[in-house]
Amino acid sequence: MALGQRQVVDLLAEVSYHTVEPVFNQTLASPIGPGSNLTITLNPSSPIPATEYLYAGALIVVGWHGADAEQVTVQSVTGNNTFVASLVNAHVAGESVFGATFPTQVPTDPVWTQAEVIGYIAQAQNEFLTKVPLIFELWPPETILLGQVYQTVPNTAIEMERVSLNNPANNIDFAIGSITRLNGTVTAVIPTSTSSDTWTPGLPILVLGVSNNTFNSVSNYVTFPLETVSPDGTTLTWAQTGSNTTSSGGFVERPVWTRLYEGSQMQIAMQNPQAFGNMGIPQKWFEDRAGIYGWGVSPVPNAGYFVELLTSIRGSESLGLLDYFLVPDVFVMYLKFKTLQFCWTKDGVQASPSLARYAGARFDFGVMLADRYLRNVVMKVGGNG
């Protein structure tokens, strides 16, 4: 879910310049790749050799900002203009070879390592997203089980925003007259005419009970996005892999989602002292901030149900050079300042409390700007402004 054009390799280079570390920026002297353990030749540079800032284990990008760009690990440096690495793609002469390798004192006592600074960038992005929940994700149906009040938060979720429940008893079924799969597209004909307004292309559908099981949803809740609907609503199509075949029977089911009311455990218990003792169809959800963050439902589920979650999310803690940011480009500069704050607060020869305070203040300013922007948008939408 990239919201901009800048990649980790680009921000890493900016951080490198601020910390007075050299950036490796050369070009290929000849076509090469793909293959393993290749000797890659660079165009000579003067007065510093082209490979001066490379070392075994350094990460660089071959084909930087090109369609064939790939992250490459340097295996060894074999000369002033040559090094050994493995390539997945083919590259032509003149393509950029780029990277911020943080080479100072690498053989003995590096000031910073590449992996360390990339980790700082990942941490900076997640701290920004925690303070300002800019990015949200609608999670595919999660399962809540019979008798289970407390539920699991998805791995990259920061905070819950909305919970919707699917009660199979409320789903709407349409019998299938005939169903055909041709070249990856399924066409189902419903004998009873329905209004096309009852179907919305793009929304999920379930397929259950078809005689040929290859048409059916794989599990109890694996949906297909509806692609097209005929004007009279009797012919539906969706994409599905599989061999060309025809069958009949079963039905297309349109899931109905019911939004649960949000509350706190205290509010729910005060309204109904038996809320966490009685069983039934969940009506409310709550967040639990005691101990490990989690969430739960009330009353106690009387069966298994599927829920759809909307949460704010964080980025990966393990970034590659060619990864994009969840944070939009306009805010990426503030990730740079937080990364620099981490760099300058590290014990060592480059520690600088004054620069660290400055970088931290710039990051905090960016957080304030993003927070005010979101609040103004929400207030305007909510107030019909």
List, in order of start, the domains of the chain with CATH numbers. 136-165+260-313 (no CATH), 172-255 (2.40.30)
DSSP state letter for 213: G
DSSP state letter for 196: G
Helix axes 329-344, 114-131, angle to 10 degrees: 120
Q: Note the pLDDT of residue 360.
A: 97
Q: Write out pLDDT tens, residues 232-251.
A: 888 999 999 989 999 999 99
Distance CA 362, CA 334 (A): 7
Grouping H, G, I as helix, E, B as strand and the rest as coil, residue 356 is helix
Distance CA 70, CA 55 (A): 18
Tokens 């929940």 identify what position? Answer: 133
Is residue 91 within 8 A of residue 33, CB to CB? The reply is yes
Output the six-digit token pair for 294.
Answer: 């989690």
Q: Note the pLDDT of residue 292.
A: 67
Distance CA 354, CA 214 (A): 65
Distance CA 385, CA 207 (A): 43
Which segments of the chain have a pLDDT < 70?
1-4, 193-197, 219-221, 290-292, 377-385
pTM to 2 decimals? 0.78
What is each CA distance from 144 to 88, 166, 171, 276, in whole angstroms?
43, 11, 18, 15
- Angle (CA) 295-260-141 rounded to 5° is 70
Q: Write out pLDDT tens, residues 339-382.
A: 999 999 998 888 999 999 999 999 999 999 998 887 776 555 44
Selection from 248, 284, 240 nearest residue 266 by Cα:
284
- Angle (CA) 346-351-352 rounded to 5° is 125
Distance CA 215, CA 248 (A): 10
Tell me which H or E stretch contains 56. none
Let me know how long the chain is.
385
Type of residue at 331: F
Task: Outline where 297-352 has alpha helix (H).
Answer: 329-344
367-370: Cβ within 8 A, 24+ apart: 367/128, 367/131, 367/132, 367/334, 370/128, 370/132, 370/134, 370/331, 370/334
Distance CA 11, CA 348 (A): 23
Is residue 174 within 8 A of residue 192, CB to CB? The reply is yes
Tokens 């076509």 identify what position? Answer: 31
Output the six-digit token pair for 37.
Answer: 């353990």
CA dihedral for 60, 62, 66, 70, sign (positive or negative): negative
Residue 118: φ, ψ to 5°: -60, -40
Q: Which residues make beta-bridge pairs with 146?
A: none
- Angle (CA) 122-128-131 rounded to 5° is 140
DSSP state letter for 108: T
Q: Note the pLDDT of residue 272.
A: 87
Grouping H, G, I as helix, E, B as strand and the rest as coil, residue 112 is coil
Q: Note the pLDDT of residue 195.
A: 64
Type of residue at 74: V
